[in-house]
Structure 1
Amino acid sequence: MAQLLVRDLEPEVVQALKRKAAEERTSVEEAHRRLLREALLKTGPKLSFKEALLRMPDDGDDEVFSRKKKKRRQRSASSHK
């Protein structure tokens, strides 16, 4: 297999990769391979629709999605003939 050497990475990127590897209980090298595969080959786990929705960031105001309730007109007793 081919080898890849990545130079001049920001220290924050290296630390994030080390944290990810620790969370996955794997080597930094394996975590790097997984990230590359998932990003470039789309081999990551398939999410259900529910999981995808739950991963969406909460941008706060959901008023744009709310529906205004219409007031029901009350019928008079004489209109029910």
Structure 2
Amino acid sequence: MAVLTVRNLPDEVHRALRMRAAQHGRSTEAEVRALLEEAVKPQGRLKLGSLLADIGRKVKLTDEEVALIRQRDPSLPRAVDFE
């Protein structure tokens, strides 16, 4: 895992980070990790499962149709032949 050093952090920013961390019940280091993760996480991330569930609700799938969708083909995948 990578290590990041932040130099010349203003005292008021450090104090605010410590207070924010205390409010969330975590260390300052954990708070900074959470803030960085939130800052770089894609905003409109597509969640395929949620999208499919929404589509199913919109088209009003029956229980029988949902059962058919949940059935899985037990056969092994075949190699693709591009010739």
Structure 2 match to 1:20: 20
The change in CA–CA distance for 1:42 and 1:27 in structure 2 (over 3 A counts) is: farther
- Deviation (angstroms), 1:33: 0.1
- Deviation (angstroms), 1:27: 0.5
What number of residue pairs does the alignment pair up?
A: 43
Q: Runs of 4+ in structure 1 displaced over 4 angstroms?
A: none
- Deviation (angstroms), 1:41: 1.4
- Measure, in 1, the Cα distance between the counterparts of 2:24 and 2:9: 21
- Measure, in 2, the Cα distance between the counterparts of 1:8 and 1:42: 28
Q: Which of 1 and 2 has greater Rg?
A: 1
Structure 2 match to 1:36: 36
- Measure, in 1, the Cα distance between the counterparts of 2:42 and 2:17: 19
- Deviation (angstroms), 1:37: 0.5
Unaligned runs of 5+ in 1: 44-81
Unaligned runs of 5+ in 2: 44-83
Structure 2 match to 1:10: 10
TM-score by structure 2 length?
0.49
- Deviation (angstroms), 1:42: 4.3
Structure 2 match to 1:71: none
Task: Report percent identity of matched pairs.
Answer: 44
TM-score by structure 1 length?
0.50
